[in-house]
Amino acid sequence: MNEILIRGRVLTFLAEPQGIDDTASYRYIEDGAVFVRDGKIVEIGSYGDMSKLVRSNTKLADHRPNLILPGFIDTHLHFPQTQAIASYGAQLLEWLNTYIFVEEQKFARAAHAAEVADRFMDELLSNGTTTAVAYCSVHPESVDAYFAAAEARGMCMIGGKVMMDRNAPDALRDTPQQGYDETKRLIERWHGRGRAHYAISPRFAITSTPGQMDMSKALVAEHPDCYVQTHLSENRDEIAFATSLYPEAKDYTDIYARYGLLNSRMLLGHCIHMSAREVAVLAETGAVGVFCPTSNLFLGSGLFNAAQFDRLGARWSVATDVGAGTSFSMLETMDEAYKVLHLQGQRLTPFNSFYRMTRGNALALGLEKRIGSLQAGADADIVVLDSTAKSAMEFRMRTATSLAEELFILQTMGDDRCVAEVYVAGKAMKTRKPKAVLRESLQLA
Ligand code: GUN
Ligand code: ZN
């Protein structure tokens, strides 16, 4: 039996905060601890109470005065774009053609996919992200590399091969049948293996013919427990192009609705330029709009309207969208989210930000019993945050008088340097020896 007691200031959310004073929406324990056995949380409480559970072989991890939260969750990013972040000067369609469709061709080589997958998982972990939903490339080998790297670290990860059969270079196109067959094989191999979940991934309406959308519909019907992910209404030129390819559809959202893709396991990246009708369709079907603020600013796509989603009762989550997103850090992502909403006269309280990165995103994935909260029975995916990691933060923190203020400082000034430790199923991952270093030392031996 493997036991560890993780001590620090414990913070976990119970419900969506209804304002900056909503103290009932979270549990905060000043001298708290999380008791973990064999990768699962047994109990959380005061250190005094939790220390009664300690036995001779229980390890102690004293993180005082740092904060202990559930690991962050990122609901949309692209693993093959890890090395294409910061590609200059273009809006969506030109950016895809100039940079991304060139970069993704490298993933035909399994060795390249494996190398990037290792870097990708380690980057997520060093930013405190313990679960993510990613697109792989069109190559099945990229999916194998992705889930193998996640499995080696014990991470709960969601992903899938993109399907594209038009408007992409030859080397990145599959066919409707090939996309279907390869997706089926990958679902059989990976979905439900350990902590892996598969996401059926037609990239977007522009790169899938009606034939491929039919195949996506069949896959979704045959695998209702898999996730589905695509892109929707990110950019004006994209919307015009997509709707011209499906003239029978009422609007962009209706394209996906007609192919039976909208359900509560569907994640739709961006959803920026949406009519009330379209958001209402998401609300009806339970599909989730994914807010990707750093990406939306970087590509000049527009401003996600969270208030419209809330008003119409539609679900939304938050994500980095690396590599159009400019950081793996969910803290930096929420910093930009705050500004995007502020520009529209909307408010995102610090409690709401931290709720969104943890329990909110877990609810969007239907995984709230397993991840996103520090609660008995959940997986021990945990992030430890140091609000004084940078000298400017340390100086600013001297004047902070409330938890809300501390969280806002973390979000506004913080990045991976504030992640003091990250636990995946109870195992410390940030301070472990990086894999690349291990390999080098093995070669020397
Ligand atoms: N739409 C279709 N593919 C992509 C992608 O890779 N990134 C972004 N931001 N939007 C997309
Ligand atoms: Zn995307």
Q: What is the Cα–Cα distance from 411 to 414, expressed in whole angstroms?
A: 5
Question: Using one digit for the tens of pLDDT, what is the confidence trace for 249-299?
Answer: 999 999 999 999 999 999 999 999 999 999 999 999 999 999 999 999 999
Q: Can you list the alpha helix ranges (DSSP code H) found in 314-372? A: 330-342, 350-355, 361-364
Q: Six-digit token pair at 225?
A: 């427990």
Residue 434's pLDDT is 54
pLDDT in tens, 202-244: 999 999 999 999 999 999 999 999 999 999 999 999 999 999 9
CB-ligand 1 contact for 295 (6 Å cutoff):
yes
Q: How far is the CA of 389 from the centre of ligand 2 (A)?
A: 31
pTM (two decimals): 0.97
The residue to mutate among 85, 96, 172, 236, having the most atoms of ligand 1 within 8 angstroms of its beta carbon, is 96
What is the structure's pLDDT at 431? Answer: 76
The Cα–Cα gap between 78 and 102 comes to: 14
Residue owning the nearest CA to atom 1 of ligand 1: 231
User: Are 329 and 415 contacting, i.e. CB atoms less than 8 angstroms apart?
Assistant: yes
Q: Is 102 left (phi over 0), alpha (psi -120 to 50) or beta?
A: alpha
Is 108 in contact with 397 (CB distance < 8 Å)?
A: no
CA–centroid distance, residue 443 to ligand 1 (Å): 39
CA of 155 to the centre of ligand 2 (A): 21
Per-residue model confidence as pLDDT tens digits over 80-124: 999 999 999 999 999 999 999 999 999 999 999 999 999 999 999
Helix (H, G, I), strand (E, B) or coil at 162: strand
Distances (CA, A) of 374 to 10, 53, 334, 351, 369: 9, 17, 21, 16, 10
C-beta separation of 227 from 267 below 8 A: yes
Q: Which atom of ligand 1 is nearest to the CA of 323?
A: 7
The closest alpha carbon to 280, from 232, 317, 313, belongs to 313
Residue to substitute in 203, 206, 235, 296 for testing ligand 1 pocket (most ligand atoms within 8 angstroms of CB):
203
- Which residue has a Cα nearest atom 9 of ligand 1? 324
Measured at the CA of 437, the angle between CA 435 and CA 438, to 5 degrees, comes to 65
Distance of alpha carbon 92 from alpha carbon 256, whole angstroms: 20
Ligand number with the minimum distance to the CA of 208 = 1
- Looking at every residue in the chain, the average pLDDT score rounds to 96
Q: What's the CA-to-centroid distance between 98 and ligand 1, angstroms?
A: 13
What are the C-alpha distances in Å from 206 to residues 163, 212, 392? 11, 11, 45
Kindly state if the Cβ of 341 falls inside 6 Å of ligand 1: no
For residue 348, pLDDT over 70 is answered with: yes
- Residue located nearest, by CA, to atom 7 of ligand 1: 324
Give the chain's length.
Answer: 445
pLDDT at 437 (0 to 100): 47
Exposure of 285 in the CB half-sphere (CA atoms within 13 A)? 22
Residue 433 confidence (pLDDT): 58
User: Averaged over 412-433, what is the pLDDT?
Assistant: 94
Q: Which of 274, 139, 258 is nearest to 205 (CA)?
A: 258
For residue range 16-55, list pLDDT tens digits in order.
999 888 999 999 999 999 999 999 999 999 999 999 999 9
Query: 233 C-alpha vs ligand 2 centroid, how far in Å?
Result: 11
**Residue 442 reports pLDDT greater than 50:** no
Strand, helix or coil for residue 307: helix
Residue 444: what pLDDT?
43
What pLDDT score does 1 carry? 84
For ligand 1, say whether the CB of 76 is within 6 Å of any of its atoms.
no
Average pLDDT over residues 189-200: 98
- With a 6 Å cutoff on the Cβ, whether 227 touches ligand 1 is no
Distance 272 CA to ligand 2 centre (A): 13
- Whether residue 166 is predicted with pLDDT greater than 60 in this model: the reply is yes
Task: Walk me through the domains of the chain, giving residue ranges and CATH numbers.
Answer: 3-71+373-428 (2.30.40.10), 72-328 (3.20.20.140)
Distance 4 CA to ligand 2 centre (A): 37
Is the pLDDT confidence value at 443 over 60?
Answer: no
Residue 439 is predicted with a pLDDT of 47
